[in-house]
Structure 1
Amino acid sequence: MLPHPAARRTSHEHSLRAGQARALQSRAADGPNSRAEPLTVRIPEACRLTGIGRSKLYELIAEGSIEIVKVGGMTLIPFESLKRLIAAGREGRGL
């Protein structure tokens, strides 16, 4: 039997989840019309937000279509970079 997914989380992941929960609570406190966007997202979140697969996302990073910021071992993607990528696709400039 496999361990419960939460049992495999690292302390870093736990602290990230706690931080995300606080961010959601603070957004909820700002009211229903508040649309606070993150400055950056990590690779799995970028895949989830855009619907782009992990391999394709790394290809886009390698060709310069998506910016990254390295912080230690973390790869962060500026949220604005994802928005520009999607806007370019919508305008017919392709991905």
Structure 2
Amino acid sequence: MDRLLWLQLIGIAAFNKVDYLMTLEALERGYKEANPLLASMVGTFQFPLVKLLLVPLLLIFMWQMRHRIGKSLVTLTWVPFTAYSMVVLYHRSILF
């Protein structure tokens, strides 16, 4: 269980970083941030903090809590893993 969860969390972190970089590129090309929670932060110091600091901190927290949460964490982690992979594919389709 730990190995799969570790790979999922590393994957989410990687997708998050790619999403951040591709979002910056899309914003430069005139696209808008689609996430309503982050849209108001674009262009402020908060945007990179949330994307590049908060998300990794949440992933670290999840890793540290894995034994308390149990096996369901592996199942639940597929949701953000899949969502981020879809977001990255979407970015790729509009940018390249």
Q: TM-score, normalised by structure 1?
A: 0.29
More helix by share: 2
Larger RCO, structure (CA 8 Å, separation 6 or more):
2
User: Over alpha carbons, which structure has the higher Rg?
Assistant: 1
More strand by share: 1
